[in-house]
Amino acid sequence: MKNKFFLLVIFCLFGSTSLLYSVDTIKILNIIKERYSEYNKTIHKCSQKEYNIMNESTEGGQLILYVENKKVKKITAILYGEFGKSVNEYYVLDQQVFFVLKSTFLYQNPIYEGKVIVKEKSQSRFYFYNNKMIRYLNQNNRIINPKSTEFNEFQKRILSDYNKYLAYLK
């Protein structure tokens, strides 16, 4: 009886599943981080398929698909611009993206001057579970609210780009 009362109080104070969701989310994030670490230790064993992607950015780009047993494990999209580049790494399990690392490099001078010096580097991290983004850490390492427009726009764009890049394999 005391346990039921305690649970009722918890649900009333914190909202039906918000407390449980946060505990589950933390567990899922930890699993994703472990899987990311494992992938980076073994990704060199995968075969690589490389493609030029010219219509994705001003200076073109490169797409690398890492395949093991006919399944994509990772996709790296490198998009070049006049004043920098973006490296987007999609980590995949069972044809679903579970983590995306977006690294952005800004150059001191335009690339046509010949000497490329990186003046700034930033990273954003996107965590997915069941094809839904559950966490977005922006370039300042701040958690973005899942109900925000920014969160939802990145989720749509990442999944759209992932599916577009995956189609290169077919």
| 105-116 pLDDT per residue, tens | 999 998 888 888
Q: What's the pLDDT score for residue 169?
A: 82
| 105-145 pLDDT per residue, tens | 999 998 888 888 999 999 999 999 999 999 999 999 999 99
- How far is it, in rounded angstroms, from Cα 146 to Cα 133? 8
Give the angle 108-113-119 at the CA atoms, nearest 5°.
Answer: 10
Cα–Cα separations (whole angstroms), residue 124 to 51, 99, 132: 24, 11, 17
Model confidence, pTM: 0.84
Phi, psi of 5 (to 5 degrees): -65, -45
- How far is it, in rounded angstroms, from Cα 19 to Cα 35? 25
